[in-house]
Structure 1
Amino acid sequence: MYKQKFGKYILTLLKIILLLPLAFIIQFPAGSEFLYSNETKYNINLVNHLVVLIFGILIAFFSVFYVYRKVNGAAIRLFSFKLKWIIFTIIVIIGALLIEILINLLSKNSAATTNYLISISIGFPLQPFFLIENVIVGPILEEFLFRGILQNGILKDTPAWIKIPITAFLFAFMHEGIINWKLMEWFTLGLGLGYIYYKSNDLKMSIFGHMLSNALIIIIDIC
Structure 2
Amino acid sequence: MAFKKSVNFVIQLLVALILSFIIQIPSLFERPLNNETINKINIISHFSFYIISVVVIFLLTYISYIKINGKNILEPKIIISNVKFVIIIEIIAIVLETVILYIGNYIFHITTPSGPADNFSDKLLHVQSPLIIILILHLVIVGPILEELLFQGIIQGGILKSFNVYINVFITTLLFLFAHGLSIFSFNGLSSFIPLLSFGLIYLKTKDIKMSCLGHMINNLLVTLLHILYD
TM-score scaled by length of structure 2 = 0.85
Q: 1:13 to 1:98 in 2, by over 3 A?
A: farther
Q: 1:79 to 1:169 in 2, by over 3 A?
A: closer
Q: Report the alpha carbon displacement of residue 193 of structure 1 after superposing the two structures with TM.
A: 0.6
- Which of 99, 102, 106 does residue 105 from structure 1 map onto? 102
- Match runs of 1:143-182 below 5 Å: 143-178=148-183, 180-182=186-188
Q: Report the alpha carbon displacement of residue 180 of structure 1 after superposing the two structures with TM.
A: 3.0
Q: Report the alpha carbon displacement of residue 16 of structure 1 after superposing the two structures with TM.
A: 2.6
Identical-residue share of aligned pairs (%): 33
Q: Distance in 1 between matches of 2:48 and 2:178?
A: 28
Unaligned runs of 5+ in 1: none
Match of 1:104, as an amino acid? Answer: L
- Which of 155, 171, 191 does residue 185 from structure 1 map onto? 191
Q: 1:7 to 1:71 in 2, by over 3 A?
A: closer
1:194 aligns with 2:200: yes
- Which of 21, 30, 40 does residue 27 from structure 2 map onto? 30
TM-score scaled by length of structure 1 = 0.88
Q: Report the alpha carbon displacement of residue 140 of structure 1 after superposing the two structures with TM.
A: 0.3
Q: Report the alpha carbon displacement of residue 173 of structure 1 after superposing the two structures with TM.
A: 1.1
Q: Report the alpha carbon displacement of residue 57 of structure 1 after superposing the two structures with TM.
A: 0.3
Match of 2:122 in 1: 117
Q: How many residues align?
A: 219
1:83 aligns with 2:90: no
Match of 2:189, as an amino acid? Answer: L
Unaligned runs of 5+ in 2: none
1:203 aligns with 2:209: yes
- Which of 108, 130, 139 does residue 134 from structure 1 map onto? 139
Q: Distance in 1 between matches of 2:202 and 2:45?
A: 37
Q: CA RMSD in A?
A: 2.5
Q: Report the alpha carbon displacement of residue 9 of structure 1 after superposing the two structures with TM.
A: 7.5
Q: Which segment is superposed worse, 210-219 or 185-194? A: 185-194
Q: Report the alpha carbon displacement of residue 11 of structure 1 after superposing the two structures with TM.
A: 6.5
